[in-house]
A and B are shown apart, each in its own frame.
Chain A
Amino acid sequence: MANRTTKYEDVPATPVKSFFVGMLTRDIHLSDAMLDLLDNCVDGILRKKKGAVDGKHPYKGFYAKIRYTKDDFQITDNCGGIPWDLHQYAFRMGRADGGADANLPTVGVYGIGMKRAIFKIGRHALIQTQHKSDAYDVEIKPSWLEDEENWMIPVQASASPMREDGTCIVISDLNQGVKSLFGDDKALFDRDFKFKLANHYAFIINKGFEVSVNGDLIKPRPTELRFETGKSKTAIRPFIYETKLDGVEVFLAVGFTHPIPSQDDVEAEQERTQYSSLDAGWTVVCNDRAVLYCDRTELTGWGEAGVPKYHTQFIAISGIVEFRSNDASKLPTTTTKRGIDASSRLYLQVKNKMREGLRIFTDFTNKWKGRGLAQQAQDRIKGAKRRSFQELKETSATLTLRNVLTGAKGRQYKPQLPMPPRADGGRQRICFVRPTKEIRDVSDYIFGRSDVSPSKVGERCFELKLKEARR
């Protein structure tokens, strides 16, 4: 064995700034990073109100204004500012302990959101904040980002006071990709960001928080499920489940948002896009903020354990699960707060119930989608009132919820949905393909116009022959 001259010594494990600035930012989409900044605004309100956010409009009077151009980005809020006591949590890269927001239903856990968002957007940031008697400015310059030795960020007392307690972050020297999204591709980014905001922040905006983007006030897009009232034995209503597990309150509802599509609609969709599947799928909400929106993958139970994979025929099915806790670390979210920790034990238990609910509505869709039946189901769903998630939570108090004794214990409401009438000897489907021109000719012959849908033409042919056969 050769003599070794290498002298081993302890290796430094100190972080490098380029990791935070260049690498960590790759894990998050720009719009999610911007939502992180908004999350901080809402966490500020929670601190200011000491977590008292019950009632219909607890966030009323608070706002966040976002503006961006190809040269800079700005977010201004009146949500209480950053107390100097929290400067360690707010400006250090990562959170040393979980004590800062104990007993508040915030979503911040890791202490990385604001910094990561700033680095994602640009290289020069000025943060001005005011909380009661604390009023200070923090400036992050490009030269600081490049200096691996200096980890101290300069702070100075604000020269001019803000009108209200709050925070204003201005970011310039934008990163190249961001410059394009805020400039040449602005129409697309505006659409996607506003859409995300309207969905992810629907709960909070509905509770009074005002968010504007480049001067446009964002209107929420809450998921609403159909709920039939009346005394009929069967009703179009959602499946509801509620429980409290390990300090986390869970409320789940899944049902129909729209009338189910007919077989014709589904077939037309296969040929060419007819609909946007915008509202279909599962939305997961943690402490009022949507962390997953309209997911239609295995992550939310589609395509596993007897639930069919998502398909356009299920475009009318939506579900919402809400997790609430004063300990944000117990919520099943990822570090970006825009995703679900699929291995979370809590989430896996709740997912069983999500699948159970889904199955009820996929079965219903399959039973009614056939020609001649879909219309009846569509009419029934159309006649049912839309109810927001909040309204469903209130309604659940008036419904008879059964105790769930196996799996994740809790209480649930299983709707008795209407069933299609039974035909003597059962039903079978007839399906065939003919040249378009021939279908048009038959359509013209029967209906006097050539543009009647192929299924209606086929169905009418059958009806006429049936009548003749039974004469």
Chain B
Amino acid sequence: MKHPAYHLRPNKAIDRVLLLKVIDIMGRTYDLSKYTYFGLGGPFLDDIRLVGHEFPQLRFVSIERDLDTHKRQRFHCSTKRLRFVNSSVETYLKEEFPSDTLSIFWLDYTDLSPSNLEEFGEVLELVGCPSIVKVTVRAQFDRMVSSAAERVLTTDLVSTLKDGEIADFQNRFGHYIEPGLDEDQLEAPRFAFLVQSMFEIVAQRTLPSVGSKVFQLVHSCRYADGRSQMLTLTGLVCDTSERIKIQRLYRKWRYANLDWQEPHHIDVPNLSLKETLLLEKHLPALNRTGKALQRCLGYMIDESQSASERKLRQYQDFYQFYPFFAKITV
């Protein structure tokens, strides 16, 4: 029952904001008051608080397996429209989830396992059309051999261990990946792309395009969350005949990914309060290259000019939601 400090993660905060954007775009065409948000919000329910603030017309369900975390969630309840369920996602989907519910379902995992992929498939199968389904998983391959160990072990042993870790991965995820996995596919950022393709395969296997409903990806991104690399992908389960319409809705969005291209990289900079106050004087701005903010600061905030500008560009996109962490005494 260990939880990361959910409330202190700037990239994760942006990931939540991107979900708001996806809901907002859908809400321009569909009546959100008919929708229920399903989340695995952790002890503080940050996602539900944020989504509930922006879209108060939604109903909410929080699914939590651990009894103490469930009680803690109740303590942090932020809306009357929220129902708490003390159950695993698997059991909830099998026993309680009302099929064809118009849903905004966020499967917010902290790890990556075959059961995550299966649950994603189950949700796609069960939700009504159109529904938003978002999944977040850890997209980082844990090496058996560290680079430090590689230097002291024999080449043969390193090679055997590496073969072993690829074989283990294939043994666990073989149903979701193409054969002939390369070792460099396990390195970031290619690993995030590989994980995304695993979800693509699950989506196509669960809802083939010859069927009556399909999963249309609208956004995906990867980001560092503490020491872990995460992947988030969000899409709409919709009637097959509405796919083009859904694509049109999201086509112009800067962070759209409609055809399973490489996920966007979310990497907002760590800025001091003094820096953010300086930059905000120049925002919003039409020019979104990050160059102007770079000039405004007068120094680089990353190792290269391009990396620094890229981070500032992201800050420019999300500055309104950039989290500010401060110590307060109550």
Q: A185 and B208: CB pair below 8 A?
A: yes
Check A437/B171 contact, CB under 8 A, given A194-B180, A274-B113, A274-B114: no
List, sorted by A's number, 13 A–B pairs whose CB atoms are closer than 8 Å. A183-B209, A188-B205, A191-B176, A191-B177, A191-B201, A194-B179, A218-B180, A258-B167, A272-B114, A274-B114, A274-B115, A275-B114, A278-B175
Is there a chain B Cβ closer than 8 Å to A190's Cβ?
yes
Chain A stretch 154-204: residues in CB contact (< 8 A) with chain B: 176-177, 180, 183-185, 187-188, 190-191, 194-195, 198-199
Could you tell me which residues of chain B, from 201 to 239, have a CB within 8 Å of some CB in chain A? 201, 204-205, 208-210, 214
Write the nearest CB–CB distance from B37 to chain A, whole angstroms: 25
Q: In the complex, what distance in Å separates the CA atom of A216 from the CA atom of B113?
A: 27
Given the complex of chains A and B, what is the CA–CA distance between A274 and B174 in angstroms?
Answer: 11
Given A190-B178, A258-B171, do A184 and B114 touch, yes or no (CB 8 Å)? Answer: no
Which residues in A have their C-beta under 8 angstroms from that of B201? Answer: 187-188, 191
Interface of B is mostly: helix
Taking Cβ atoms with an 8 Å cutoff, the residues of B that contact A are 1, 67, 90, 113-115, 118, 167, 170-180, 197, 200-201, 204-205, 208-210, 214, 260
B77 CB, min distance to chain A CBs, angstroms: 23
Other A-B pairs beyond A184-B209, A278-B174, 7, CB < 8 Å? A180-B208, A185-B210, A187-B201, A190-B178, A191-B176, A274-B115, A275-B114
**Known A188-B205, A258-B171: A273·B118 in contact at CB below 8 Å:** yes
Report which of B90, B114, B205, B210 forms a contact with A180, defined as CB distance below 8 A.
Answer: B210
Query: Which chain B residues border A428 with CB–CB below 8 Å?
Result: none
Within 8 Å CB of B173, what residues of A?
276
A273 touches B115 (CB 8 A): yes
In the bound assembly, the distance between CA atoms of A391 and B187 in angstroms comes to: 33
The residues of B that contact A440 with a CB separation of less than 8 Å are 1
A180 touches B209 (CB 8 A): yes
A187 and B200 contact, CB distance less than 8 A = yes
Q: Among the listed B90, B170, B176, B204, which residue makes an inter-chain contact with A272, where contact means beta carbons less than 8 Å apart? A: B90
Query: Given the complex of chains A and B, what is the CA–CA distance between A218 and B178 in angstroms?
Result: 10
Report Cα–Cα, A199/B180, bound state, in Å: 11
- Residue interface bits A357-375, CB-to-B below 8 A is 1, else 0: 0000000000000000000
A216 to B180, CA, bound (A): 10
User: What residues of A have a CB within 8 angstroms of the CB of B167 in the complex?
Assistant: 258
Q: How far is the CB of B295 from chain A (nearest CB, A)?
A: 43
Q: Are A273 and B208 in touch, CB under 8 angstroms? A: no
A258 closest partner in B (C-beta): B171
A272-B90, A276-B174 in contact; A195/B210 too (CB < 8 A)?
no
A278 contact set on B, CB distance < 8 A: 170-171, 174-175
How close is A378's CB to chain B, nearest CB, in angstroms? 13
CB A87 to nearest CB in B, in angstroms, measures: 36
User: Which residues of A are found within 8 Å of B197, using beta-carbon distances?
Assistant: 187
Contact partners of B208 in chain A: CB under 8 A: 180, 185, 188
Contacts of B209 in A (CB 8 A): 180, 183-185
Give the residues in chain A near B200, CB-CB below 8 Å.
Answer: 187-188
The minimal Cβ–Cβ distance linking B300 to chain A, given in whole angstroms, is 39
Separation of A437 and B66 alpha carbons in the complex (Å): 9
Cβ contacts under 8 Å, A195 to chain B: 178-179
Interface residue A351 (Cβ < 8 Å from any Cβ of B): no
Known: A275-B171, A276-B173. A184 touches B179 (CB 8 A): no
Contact of A219 with B by CB under 8 A: yes
The answer to whether A276 touches B205, judged by C-beta atoms less than 8 angstroms apart, is no
What's the Cα separation between A195 and B179 when bound, in Å? 5
Interface pair B172/A274, CB less than 8 Å apart: yes
